[in-house]
Amino acid sequence: METYGAKTVPLGGWFSMPKRVLPGALIVGDSAAFLNAERLKGIHLAIEGGMMAAKTIFEALKADAYTEAQLGLYDRLFQESRAREELYGVRNFHQGFDHGLFAGMVNTGNDTSMWDEEDGFFYDVLRLPDGSSSRLKVRSMVGLLPLCAVTVFEGDVFKKYPESRERVRRFLAARPELTAAIQDPALPGKGGRLLASILNESRLRRVLARMLDEAEFFGPHGIRALSRYHADNPYTFNAGGQEYRVDYLPGESDSGMFGGNSNWRGPVWMPVNALIIRALLQYYTYYGDDFRVECPTGSGRQMTLYQVAEELTRRLAGLFLKDAQGRRPVHGDTRKFQDDPHWRDLILFYEYFHGDTGLGVGASHQTGWTGVVVRAMHLFATTTPGQMLELGKKAVIIEEAPSARGRRPPAKP
């Protein structure tokens, strides 16, 4: 079985498909293993399979015959279908990777990785029916999310689970081309911790340099979902005689695509910002204070990754806090919410926020995912860098009064 998102489906594919035709029965959809294992997508294949099954059943009803021979039409339709072509094309996906990363990429016909060495960034990869592939050089959250694929293990993990050390060693020894592209998971960091990360130190620094650039992702109120670079440099792609275009849209969408949702086209979206904060703290517990980056990029100001995470949280919190003029960016120019004493302190947790001004955009009741900003604010109010380095992940549940951190406690009324 394969679990992804909120779904659990049979781990299908060409070599997993059962006999599809039985006397009086047809095996359809997930049960027929109609799953593209490379893309983890199967809804379109299940629909096509359902249509073939419906045609088979219709013919069986007309003939009033439900034998295996009559229902064999289903198999014949499958042999001529696009579903068969797609499933056959990715038949060696899992088996290929059993022999290493390179073999897996060759067997799937996909030798174009998401990482672009020249740009120092990750991009979507488009695969065409002829087997060719190319990067779609849109500077989007796609290029930042690999940074979030990180976790840190305490140094005593192999003492607690000694059999795991040998398993990890064998796995990595069989895949030298994989370990060449990622952080060495056997290299100890601060406190003897081990880092499991897609990004090695060099690539991490390159992605952070772009993420922390205020002319790109690092907005005044958080990390934008799309680089502001595309405001003046829209990305265009031509296919089938038609031009497709991606512009920077900091607020509401300018089209009905995806129901008018523009989360990924420029606004600040709280859930992915929270993932980035988590990732930065994970990296900090491994690299410690010696790892510093320029924040913002080009400012000349060097920060630890703890400080970067804290600065990002400060910008996110600024969406809801009053500025020097007594205005909350989230309310924009809505005077009722800015000035009316009955409304001005009632905060709305919008779906996402304008990438330049911080104005609340989309639905105004997204307390679930936007409310996570409160947890981030609380974390940095009660946790010190020293605690993070000493306690690691445990530090996030340790609370310490501001006065104990060398900060002046709030004045008593």
pLDDT in tens, 361-406: 988 887 888 999 999 999 999 999 999 999 988 888 777 654 455 4
Q: Is residue 233 assigned to a domain?
A: yes
Q: Can the peptide bond before residue 162 be classed as cis, meaning omega within 30 degrees of 0?
A: no
The verdict on 109 and 243 lying in the same domain is: no
Residue with tokens 């003029």: 325
Task: Name the pTM for this structure.
Answer: 0.74
Question: How deeply is 4 buried, as exposed, middle or buried, from its count of CB atoms within 10 A (0-12, 13-18, 19+)?
Answer: exposed
Q: pLDDT truncated to tens, each residue of the chain (413 aa)?
A: 555 455 555 566 788 888 999 988 999 987 888 887 766 678 888 899 999 999 999 999 999 998 999 999 999 999 999 888 888 877 766 665 555 544 454 444 445 688 899 999 999 988 776 767 889 999 999 999 999 999 999 988 888 888 887 887 787 777 776 777 788 888 899 999 999 998 999 999 999 999 999 999 999 999 999 999 999 999 999 888 889 889 999 988 777 665 666 777 889 999 999 999 999 999 999 999 999 999 999 999 999 999 999 999 999 999 999 999 999 999 999 999 999 999 999 999 999 999 999 999 988 887 888 999 999 999 999 999 999 999 988 888 777 654 455 444 444 44
Q: Is residue 57 assigned to a domain?
A: yes
Q: Considering only the C-alpha atoms of the chain, give the largest distance between any 2 of them, rounded to a whole number of Å.
A: 87
Give the sign of the dihedral formed by CA 204, CA 247, CA 134, CA 93.
Answer: positive
Residues forming a β-bridge with 361: 352
Decide if 281 contacts 304 (C-beta within 8 A).
Answer: no
CA angle, residues 18, 20, 24, in degrees to nearest 5 = 130
Q: How many CA atoms lie within 13 A of 46 on its CB side?
A: 12
Sorted by sequence, the CB contacts under 8 Å of residue 329 that are 6+ apart come out as 221, 318, 319, 320, 323, 353, 357, 358, 359
Residue 225 pLDDT: 94
Q: Is residue 337 assigned to a domain?
A: yes
Decide if 293 contacts 285 (C-beta within 8 A).
Answer: no
Q: How many domains does the chain have?
A: 3
The verdict on 112 and 7 lying in the same domain is: no
CA angle, residues 155, 309, 385, in degrees to nearest 5 = 50
Provide the token pair at 2.
């394969």
d(CA 15, CA 400): 56
Sorted by sequence, the CB contacts under 8 Å of residue 151 that are 6+ apart come out as 196, 197, 282
d(CA 116, CA 122): 6
Q: Is residue 161 assigned to a domain?
A: no
The verdict on 110 and 246 lying in the same domain is: no
CA 375 to chain centre: 20
Residue 96 pLDDT: 57
Residue 11 pLDDT: 60
The verdict on 238 and 365 lying in the same domain is: yes
The verdict on 303 and 397 lying in the same domain is: yes
The verdict on 279 and 384 lying in the same domain is: yes
The three-class DSSP label of residue 208 is: helix
Which helix (H) or strand (E) is 261 found in, with range?
none
Residue 349 pLDDT: 92
Angle between helices 372-382 and 305-317 (to 10 degrees): 130
Give the gyration radius of the chain's Cα atoms: 26
The verdict on 52 and 80 lying in the same domain is: yes
The verdict on 103 and 227 lying in the same domain is: no
Provide the token pair at 360.
């609340």
Q: Is residue 186 assigned to a domain?
A: no
Residue 91 pLDDT: 76
Q: Is residue 64 assigned to a domain?
A: yes
d(CA 31, CA 21): 12
Q: Is residue 413 assigned to a domain?
A: no
Q: Is residue 131 assigned to a domain?
A: yes
Residue 155 pLDDT: 83
Domain boundary among 82, 113, 137: 137
Range of the domain at 44: 2-91
The verdict on 248 and 389 lying in the same domain is: yes
Which helix (H) or strand (E) is 304 found in, with range?
strand 302-304
Residue with tokens 């609380």: 378
The verdict on 48 and 109 lying in the same domain is: no
The verdict on 225 and 353 lying in the same domain is: yes
Q: Alpha helix (H) ranges present in 144-264? A: 157-160, 162-173, 176-179, 201-211
The residue among 50, 41, 47 whose CA lies nearest residue 90 is 41
The verdict on 340 and 388 lying in the same domain is: yes
Residue 94 pLDDT: 64
Angle between helices 270-287 and 201-211 (to 10 degrees): 140
Domain boundary among 112, 137, 162: 137
Query: What does each C-alpha distance from 38 to 85, 91, 92, 127, 405 come to in angstroms?
Result: 14, 9, 9, 12, 49
The residue among 287, 294, 266 whose CA lies nearest residue 190 is 287
